[in-house]
Amino acid sequence: MQKVDTFRISLLPFCILIFSIFALMIVTYLAVSVPIFQKEGPQIYTTNIWKAAENNPDEEFYGVLAAIYGSVYTSVLAVLIALPLSIGFAVFVIDYAPQKIKEPLIVTTDIMAGLPTIIYGIWGAFVLVPMLRDYVMYPLHKHLGFIPLFSFEPAGGYSFLAAGVLLGVMVTPFASSIIREAYRMVPFTYREAAFSLGATRYEATKILLSYIKPAIIAGILLAFGRAIGETVAVSLVVGNAFNIHPSLFAPGYTISSLIANQFGNAFIYGYMVSALFAAGFFLFIIGLAVNIGSLIILKRWYSHAQRF
């Protein structure tokens, strides 16, 4: 007869607790979202309407398309900025930085990755936004305003661009650390092989980067997940307006900034809480998909690379 493992049994409640919190979260999001799904169906995600009525819940209508649009827009911008920076930084640190400054460079990016996001927020709102408005947005709008990307007059500077740039700065260290680890893992023999064929350093780097492409994709996906979930820094610079506009300079909303802005007074309405939870659920699903996807890619790549 097997002895009862008291040790195991005494630890089990803690595990169960952690995972029931996780499960409870999913259940809560689904349960609270149900009323708005019953009332509006998929229109909660496909329309851009925000009609709150204090006394008559039947007149309320919520569509968070603008926030979804803004979340994707700003996060794509962030990833476009983070992609060259994080790859370039990883390559520089591993291949070219003098030995003495390697470690300080990595510590610096670790500080960036851990820095409280509200500090990015205040810097974004008071420093980055005016800077972008005066030196980037106005000149571009004035001279190239006929291009849809630059067509919106950048009144305050709070915009998709400001949020995208700020998010790009915030997620670059994170993406870079994943790419750096993968790049470091490239077996030395491939490096030798590339150079032995007469490759220049640029060409060898290109070959090695193509070898770690899956890890780069995973890093960028994870960065996208971080960007789309970021709340306070974004809500201080994105302008917080229901707006689906192609221009970089237009203000908008993201899902998380919508929640941050509207949730405080949502309780006086019949369906707003439910609508915001539905928006949160959407974010939840995107985050889950992005994370699981990138974890699978990373795991597959590492098991492949470790054969050497």
Handedness of CA 104, 106, 107, 112 (dihedral sign): positive
Residue 308 within binding range of another protein, rule CB under 8 A = yes
What are the tokens at 289? 């998909």
Strand-pairing partners, residue 252, are 239
Total site size for another protein, rule CB under 8 A: 105
- Work out which of 183, 249, 271, 284 binds another protein, going by CB under 8 A: 284
Binding of another protein by 3 (CB under 8 A): no
What is the rounded CA–CA span in Å between residue 135 and residue 130? 8
Residue 20 in contact with another protein, rule: CB under 8 A:
no
295 lies in the binding site for another protein (CB under 8 A)? yes
Among 45, 138, 195, 302, interactor with another protein by CB under 8 A: 195
Phi then psi dihedrals of residue 84, to 5 deg: -65, -40
Q: How far is the CB of 53 from another protein (least distance, A)?
A: 22
- Tally Cβ neighbours within 10 Å of residue 206: 13
Does position 197 interact with another protein (CB under 8 A)? The reply is yes
141/11 Cα distance (integer angstroms):
61
CB 254 within 8 A of CB 67: yes
Residue 183 in contact with another protein, rule: CB under 8 A: no
Stretch that binds another protein, among 60-68, 134-142, 150-158, 192-200 (CB under 8 A): 192-200
Q: Are 168 and 80 in contact, with CB atoms under 8 Å apart?
A: yes
> Residue 218 and residue 298: Cα distance in Å, rounded?
6
Interactions with another protein, residue window 45-104 (CB under 8 A): 84-86, 88-89, 91-93, 96-97, 99
* Touching another protein, residues 22-41 (CB under 8 A): 22, 24-25, 28-29, 32
Minimum distance of another protein from residue 143's CB (angstroms): 24
Residues 131-160 binding another protein (CB under 8 A) are none
Q: Which of 21, 55, 146, 303 is the binder for another protein (CB under 8 A)?
A: 21
**In the range 210-239, which residues lie near another protein by CB under 8 A?**
210-211, 213, 222, 225-226, 228-232, 236
Report the interhelical angle of 160-185 vs 272-305 (nearest 10°): 20
Of the residues 12, 53, 144, 268, which one makes contact with another protein according to CB under 8 A: 12
- Beta-ladder partners of 62: 50
Token digits of residue 44: 């909660």
